[in-house]
A and B are shown apart, each in its own frame.
Chain A
Amino acid sequence: MKEFIIKRTLHIIPVLLGLSILIFALSRIMPGDSIRLKLGPEATQQQIEAMEEEMGLNDPLPVQYWNYMKGAFQGDMGMSLQSNRNVAIDIFETFPATFELIIIAMAISIAIGVPLGVISAVRKDKWEDHSTRIVALSGIALPKFWVAIMLQIVFAYWFSLLPVVGRGEIAPTTITGLRLLDSLITLNFDAFITSVKHIILPSIALSIATTAQIMRLTRSNMLNQLNKDYILAARSYGLPKGMIVYKYMLKNAFASTLTIIGLSFGALLGNAFLVEAVFGWPGMAQYGVQGVIYKDYNAIVGVTLVIGVAFAVANLIVDVLYGILDPRIKYDS
């Protein structure tokens, strides 16, 4: 097992190296002139050239890449054109908000998607199956920003149950930046309740598509299990039905659902932007998209790298869990 984990971890390095080169190159060949955008229409040619020189944009691309990576390892990711601060600081401030949102959305997706998938498979072609499938299909089809706005209208505006935007006024002392966690660590329950109230709607809006996907995949994997000899055998030994479904079938079915969970992590990072925009959530996804709009090179590369690392780590965890769930994987590799 240890060997397996080390091997998978080492696989990440070339992936991240490739990603950084690709993103760096793309950000540099992107059309549009960020310096002109930044300095405004009044700027003189000299000012622009001076700024270009200062940011090292005149160096050959490999040199620029080398300097950037050297800085990045020391915590310097270059200056952001939007905030005039080091990108590393911006990311450090915004990433926990996005991360918290995604973790909660993921938790909701798994907690709802897996049981619904199981029920739908066990009650195949009955009303439980039909209704979950309709809900799941709409979950995939409905645009996230629309769902987000509808949630705001219904729960925040009509019923005034939950806040409309932001992460809440009462903030706990920042330790990890994840407010739910921080407020629990500092035993600040007012902050905890505020944070919970604020995260409910955005995380639901974000989780809907993933929930639907997990549900559909769990359903088809469970249906696949129904015809297996070992499931028939388990029935012939007189094992209780619940145990056959939730232990013998689900452990097999969940192994492949896990792959989708790892991949959805990436999708959630991408989709988080729309939800963050609607709910005024001060997260990194929104920061990254602003960076794209303002041609903020350093911000784009920084955010993409962080997303890349997060995605790679998420999939590493998935791979390891996969190896634990299904002993056959270890032997294949």
Chain B
Amino acid sequence: MSVKSEALLEIKGLKVNFKSFEGTAQVINGVSLKVNKGEVISLVGESGCGKSVTVRSILGLVPTPPAQFTNGDITFEGQSLLGLSEKEWQKIRGKGISMIFQDPMTALNPVFTIGQHLIDVYMWQGKRNTLFTSMKEKRELRKKGRARAIEILEKMRIPDPEGILERYPIELSGGMRQRIIIALALIHTPKLLIADEPGTALDVSVQDQILIELKRLVEMEGISMIFITHNLGVARMISDRVYVMYAGEVVEEATTQSLFSQSYHPYTQGLLSSIPKLNGQMGDGIDGRIPDFLNPPQGCRFYDRCSERMDHCSLTPPKLQTLSDGRKVSCHLFAEEVVGIHG
């Protein structure tokens, strides 16, 4: 992957606050990230660190209020997304950028068949259905939608696609539903796919199959992907680059290969050590919890839990900086003069 590839999506210094009765929660605190064409990136971090809010912002699915976008910008193919009208969003959603939801049990509408889901998304993405839409046009679109639905289900290697179209979500297994959800996101072959921990709710072997399938499809169609996970193993398997998020900030960014050969940020190291080993040992884990977003610490947000904290860490927040080897990390340990020691 060349460093100068073309950016498909770019988030710069995004800050999102949530207003509530207790005060203002600074949930996303200056996140920047970039997805190049044809690239798969992972967004890794524990629950509640702002992964979902970040990606939902990309699709305009964060309700304002209570959320406020106080700073930063999101650009997709050079177009700024923040401040789009609902109609303009509708054109991008599903076609430019699509999303796979986390829980296959709740992401399908229980009272519609799989066919109705797929065909509606095919027919009406970015459009409006009015009384004056020609019936003939609708019929033709529906026919095409059905054909496309069957085609995408076949691509997902789902047996008996025609039969599946008549089924209700309740009649399908979790793994099958997850595949349908992926098919829904891919029916218009989007340029960017956001996968919000797909398969997490399924058992490991099914999850594995689905991820392999997803990776194959994305590569085949040349789709870029943002993959959200708290599972570093999955991130390693699927992505080219990894962003590690902690408490609404990106703390480390690196290519998958370099991150797994040597991680820099103490939080990343903690995450890696918390993976249970197959020899029966539990991982070490990281003590403590994510800080309160209503009153975030003045200095580094990871200070309380950090094994290598220094005095000034609690006073000044670190900045995401590029090191001499091209990697990015947000930690005072890597202030320029100490790069040599740790690098």
Contact = CB atoms under 8 A, between A and B. Distances in A.
Interface of A: 228-243, 247-248, 251-252, 255, 325-328, 331
Interface string B263-299: 0000000000000000000000000000000000000
A255 B127 CA distance: 27
A230 B91 contact: no
A137 B239 CA distance: 56
Interface stretch (B98-106, B149-157, B322-330): B98-106
Contacts of B91: 238
Given A235-B61, A237-B94, A326-B110, 16 more contacts: A230-B109, A233-B101, A234-B109, A236-B94, A236-B99, A236-B185, A237-B125, A238-B89, A238-B91, A239-B125, A240-B124, A240-B129, A242-B128, A243-B129, A247-B120, A252-B109
24 contacts: A229-B103, A230-B106, A230-B110, A231-B109, A233-B184, A236-B93, A236-B185, A237-B94, A237-B98, A238-B89, A238-B91, A238-B93, A238-B94, A238-B121, A239-B90, A242-B128, A243-B129, A251-B111, A251-B112, A252-B109, A325-B111, A326-B110, A328-B111, A328-B168
A233 B170 CA distance: 17
Contact of A327 (B86, B108, B110): B110
A243 B112 CA distance: 13
B301 interface: no
A247 B124 CA distance: 12
A141 B129 CA distance: 39
B176 interface: no
Query: Size class of B's contact patch?
Result: 20 to 34
Given A230-B108, A232-B101, A233-B101, A239 B121 contact: yes
A240 B128 contact: yes
Given A242-B128, A331-B170, A237 B110 contact: no
A240 B127 CA distance: 6
Interface of B: 59, 61, 86, 89-95, 98-99, 101, 103, 106-112, 120-121, 124-129, 168, 170, 181, 184-185
A114 to B, nearest CB: 16
Contacts of A251: 111-112
A331 B59 CA distance: 36
A238 B92 contact: yes
A332 to B, nearest CB: 10
Contact of B86 (A229, A231, A241, A325): A241
Contacts of A331: 170
Contacts of B125: 237-239
A242 to B, nearest CB: 7
A252 B110 CA distance: 8
A231 B92 CA distance: 17
B25 to A, nearest CB: 19
Contact of A243 (B124, B168, B181, B185): B124
A223 to B, nearest CB: 13
